[in-house]
Structure 1
Amino acid sequence: MTSFTTIPELLLAGDPSRPAIRATEGRPPLTYAGLRALAERTVAALNRLGIGRGDRVAIVLPNGPEMAAAFVAIASGATTAPLNPAYRDEEFEFYLTDLRARALVVAQGMESPARAVAKRLGVPVLDLVPGTEAGSFTLEGATGRDRAERPGMAEAEDVALVLHTSGTTARPKIVPLSHANVAASARHIRDTLALTPEDACLNVMPLFHIHGLMAATLASLAAGGAVCCTPGFNALHFFRWLDAERPTWYTAVPTMHQAILARAPRNAEIIARTRLRFLRSSSASLPAQVMRDLEAAFSAPVIESYGMTEAAHQMASNPLPPRPRKPGLVGLPAGPEIAIMDEAGNILPQGAVGEVVIRGPNVTRGYEANPEANAKAFTKGWFRTGDQGCFDAEGYLQLTGRLKELIKRGGEQVSPLEVDGVLCEHPAVAQALTFAIPHPMLGEEVGAAIVLREGMEATEREIRDFVAKHLADFKVPRKVVFLPEIPKGATGKLQRIGLAEKLGITA
């Protein structure tokens, strides 16, 4: 397998005549030769518009082949800043200002509040005009500048991608990822999954998110394989795409896997025809029961991995067969070094519980213009992930929760992930999310939101009794709410922080 330190070098991995980017709507694919030529043309066009290496280009495009290709092509000679197309006016204003964007790329004819916001802020708008092949495009528009300060193709230390942290409890922070960071991550994911030119990934992840950009797109291209781009996740269309595109794998967050699982029985014939080598899950904890059900439904291994934006996605992963996969654990280090650290900055011995810390070529050098956040995030060269966990005897990492999500009930600490795992073992439970309810005496109390399986029933009392058989009394949810759907964020992650407030629940 070729080694590379930039996205332009990564594109050399593929056979020029093979498809690199495919689309579900039946357009001809974009080959590696076509994608490389597109990247060169795009960089030259940006340079003529006064945009070069280090200049930030915000991208607001719907999910699909153009978004994948625009990320790859623009990053080849500038810094990409993909934004969620569903943002509202004030969100676009915050992000475009915070990023100091030199230009905004929007799909031609796409009505987006980003256009008016960019105009108000004096940010030039470039229209992306799709071509014939999936992902091919040209850019139309002007910037009022005529020469880039740093023209040409990207180098390893140039920033390829800037993303904001989700900012659930504070102002979102800017995470710059260099070409060296994203190239390392693409190699790590490619090698973990043993991807080859014969592989094709069906991408259902949003492409403004590190998971879709790195695991589905760049890791596929790093292997010389193909990424087949959908318009975004849709449980009703998923099996049709699976049948038509015949991918060898797909990657998704647990809520998507659960929606797919719910429709699996009525699509058994399609599943029987698939050629899936494995299914991958990341970006949130996959309940062990869901993993077992998926493997039974698809007759293929489910590879759970552990990722975050600051690590350019992947940090740990369960291995492919014949090595063991452990339900409920996020696997072995799969890229950066991983250790467990105490609050004082000491590395703890195997088996001890503490904060998960990482260091390696895929890890960001630090948040932008935020010395306070960096002082908290980095200790002795290690990045503190904010996750609590421990290693088992075989070196597999078990996460016990986000430190800021741990429920502090009186003098006890409750791991929401542990309670989620037990709730999901109940036969009537399709989805569960444990969360903190503010409490005047104890500080916090344990709550649980439940989505029941279709056609099944359970009472609050039954759920609480079930949990009480498996966990200590202080971990049993004091309040159980049944919902048709648990609130999710833009990337499909369940929203644990602030859920009590959102549901209007008090202790």
Structure 2
Amino acid sequence: MTKSAKPSTLLDLLEIGAPNHPAIQVPDGPTITYDALRHQVYALADNVMALGIRRTDRVAIVLPNSAETIISFLGVAAVAIAAPLNPAYKSEEFRFYLEDTSALALMTGSQGGEIAQNAASDTTLPIGVDVDAQGHVTISTPGNGDGARLEETASPNHVALILHTSGTTSRPKRVPLTHGNLAASVANIVETYNLTADDVSLCIMPLFHVHGLVASTLATLASGGTVVVPTRFNALNLWRTVQDYGVTWFTGVPTMHQALLSRARGTQFPGPEATPYSGLRFIRSCSAALPAATMLEMEERFGVPVLEAYGMTEASHQMSSNPLPPGNRLPSSVGKGTGVSIAIMDESGALQPPGIRGEVVIQGPNVIRGYEDNPEANSTSFTDGWFRTGDEGVVDSEGYLTLSGRLKEIINRSGEKISPQEIDEVLLSHPAVAEAVAFGVMSTTHGEEPSAAVVLRRPVTQAELIRYCRNHLADFKCPRVIHIVSEIPRTATGKIQRRIVAEATAEKISGAPP
């Protein structure tokens, strides 16, 4: 592949960076150059093949955020199908995903991974992964590790990665992402943010999810830049890492950004040169709705553009984004399509003009052709070549997309459709509210009534919050009950599942003493 050509497989990403340029840096750990990364990926792929694993076989990977996770993923995807799993899963969860994925092998680290190993079947091949102080990764295999076995290179149509949907409304569905899907997505991300070899990304999202894997990591490799990989997100030392490694951008979920804002409030810096933010080009937010107030405060506090994007597993992550300056950034909008066609469709399957609300549908080379072994889901998720996202939104005359929530989360009160996200925004604008999530609850009178749960940053009563909502929302949109809670449950990737919040508050009420 020439330097100017866009990658068509994940292996192409290894050919872009200068041989001696850092590809991966681990805080207080090793630095791995592109030359070393390429050698290690091919050696690991060789060893995986020596175990008898072939192109259509699945290898589950249960590792924390680390250089060895990236190397293991790329090595497996070179010759087979990688299936990264959340290391925090419990035994039953591991058992489900290992069985549902039909994992032939299970890759775990030298420390940890016992729960996954114990949950695996007797026929699942265990592969131990180890790394030395220099960042050299080895696996327990009889292979010779010289890369000589790679006679068949991956093609764009080969499946590289299999993930599951979050299963917020049904059984998780298997999502097969090809090399071509992933290569198209990373190329779109590189172009959207003008990424170059001079850029350094900080990967604070988990690598078992497309947000961290595709946006933070693979897109960085596709630009020839450097990805810094801490073990986990830590708001206490993030800015020190930004300074120490010259980080130019990072991407996260709103809860992370809110944690950084909480730490930054009240902090005074003597000047731009002394701030920990001076090297940043931009901050990206994705995977959950970013409140407009949070975006504006971040830009004021950190002094860089904050770009909200829109992504999902079925699209190999990114579908749209607000642009870099001088492009217009719209608070509460997820921007314009990035190498992806975005439209609005009504219930009958007809595409709608700008300004009309409906279901967001997408087309593009990064979008899956279908779920694996799920004809029922495929029949409802695809219409005339468009993938139906299940999100409700509206596109304006300039192509900017604004989301109003999941279609199945829209609150229907006596025929009036209420966006829970609109209620979220109002509650979050109250100075006493740190976090908020709205949802529908069953009502014998109206079918559904809006309700909400909030986490407070200082005392306020439910009655005061309801009055505040009535000053900012039409009466039918106002929550009838607002639950004050200590924590709002989220998925491992920071997403709010409104159904789970509704169930949790209902259980709390039903379990309370009379």
| Normalised-by-shorter TM-score class | over 0.9
* Pairing 1:327–2:328 present: no
Per-residue Cα deviation, 1:358-394 (whole angstroms, up to 9, x for no partner): 0110001100000000000000000000001111122
Alignment of 1:378-393 (within 5 A): 378-393=382-397
Distance 2:134 2:391 in 1: 42
- Answering whether residue 5 of structure 2 is matched by residue 2 of structure 1, we say yes
Identify the residue that residue 296 of structure 1 maps to in structure 2. Answer: 300
What SS does structure 2 have at the residue aligned with 1:292? helix
Which position in structure 1 is the counterpart of 2:464?
462
Cα deviation, residue 400, structure 1: 1.1
> Cα deviations across residues 25-44 of structure 1 (Å, max 9, x unaligned)?
x2231111111111111111
Q: CA deviation at 1:280?
A: 0.2
Percentage identity across aligned positions? 49
Task: Provide the rounded CA distance (Å) in 2 between the counterparts of 1:61 and 1:151.
Answer: 28
Q: Please say if residues 489 and 500 of structure 2, whose CA atoms lie closer than 8 Å, have aligned partners that are also in contact.
A: no
Q: Contact between 2:94 and 2:116, CA under 8 Å: does it hold in 1?
A: yes
Say if 1:353 and 1:388, in contact at 8 Å, map to a contact too.
yes
Counterpart code for 1:246: G
Q: Distance in 1 between matches of 2:509 and 2:399?
A: 40
Inter-partner Cα distance in structure 1 for 2:116 and 2:267: 39
Match of 2:146 in 1: none
**Distance in 2 of aligned mates of 1:10 and 1:53:** 19
Distance verdict in 2 for CA 1:273–1:365, change over 3 Å: closer
Question: Which deviates the most, 72-81 or 378-387?
Answer: 72-81
1:253-305 superposed Cα distances (whole Å, 9 cap, x missing partner): 11111111100136654744541110000001100000011111100010100
2:259 counterpart residue number: 259
1:128-164 Cα offsets, whole Å, 9 max, x none, are: 0113334x31111479xxxxx9963311111010000
TM-score by length of 1: 0.95
SS at match of 2:366: coil
CA–CA distance in structure 2, aligned partners of residues 66 and 266 of structure 1:
38
Contact 1:500 1:506 in 2 (8 A): no
C-alpha distance in 2 between matches for 1:313 and 1:10:
17
Q: Does 1:19 align with 2:22?
A: yes
Q: Tell me, yes or no, if the aligned pair for 1:126 and 1:139 is still in contact at 8 Å.
A: yes
Cα deviation, 1:170-218, whole Å, max 9, x if unaligned, reads 1110000000000000000111011010101111101111100110001
Contact persistence 2:243–2:279 (CA under 8 A) = no
Structure 1: runs of 5 or more not aligned: 144-148
Alignment of 1:242-391 (within 5 A): 242-265=242-265, 268-269=268-269, 271-272=275-276, 274-391=278-395
Look up the equivalent residue of 1:319 and give its one-letter code: P
Quote the Cα distance in structure 1 between the aligned partners of 2:446 and 2:234: 42
Amino acid in structure 2 at the alignment position of 1:5: S
Q: Which residue of 2 aligns with 1:208?
A: 208
1:146 matched to which residue of 2? Answer: none
Closer, same or farther in 2 for the Cα pair 1:121/1:502, shift >3 Å? Answer: farther
> Which residue does the alignment assign to 1:101?
103
Contact between 1:27 and 1:132, CA under 8 Å: does it hold in 2?
A: yes
Contact 2:437–2:453 (CA under 8 A) maintained in structure 1: yes
Q: Does 1:442 align with 2:446?
A: yes
Q: Distance in 2 between matches of 1:78 and 1:402?
A: 34
Secondary structure at the aligned position of 2:103 is classed as: coil
CA deviations 1:328-363 (Å, max 9, x no partner) are 000001121111111111111111111000011000
CA deviation digits over 1:68-104, x for unaligned, max 9? 2222222122111000011111111111111111111
Deviation at 1:56, TM superposition (A): 0.7
Please tell me whether the aligned partners of residues 254 and 286 of structure 2 are also in contact (alpha carbons under 8 angstroms). Answer: yes
Q: Which runs of 4+ in 1 moved over 6 A?
A: none
Shift of 1:450: 1.3
User: In 1, Cα distance between the equivalents of 2:42 and 2:118?
Assistant: 30
Q: Bigger shift: 181-190 or 485-494?
A: 485-494
The equivalent residue for 2:134 is 133
TM-score normalised by the chain length of structure 2? 0.93
Aligned to 2:435: 431
Structure 2: state its 5+ residue gaps. Answer: 144-148
2:485 to 483, 486, 493: 483
More deviation, 356-365/261-270 = 261-270
Distance 1:288 1:167, change over 3 A: same
- Conserved? CA contact 2:242–2:276, under 8 Å: no
2:337 corresponds to which letter in structure 1? Answer: P
C-alpha distance in 2 between matches for 1:150 and 1:167: 36
Matched residue, 2:236 = 236
Q: Secondary structure at the match of 1:497?
A: helix
Contact 2:488 2:501 in 1 (8 A): no
Aligned residues: 498
CA shift, 1:57, in A, is 0.6
Which residue of the partner structure matches residue 221 of structure 2?
A: 221
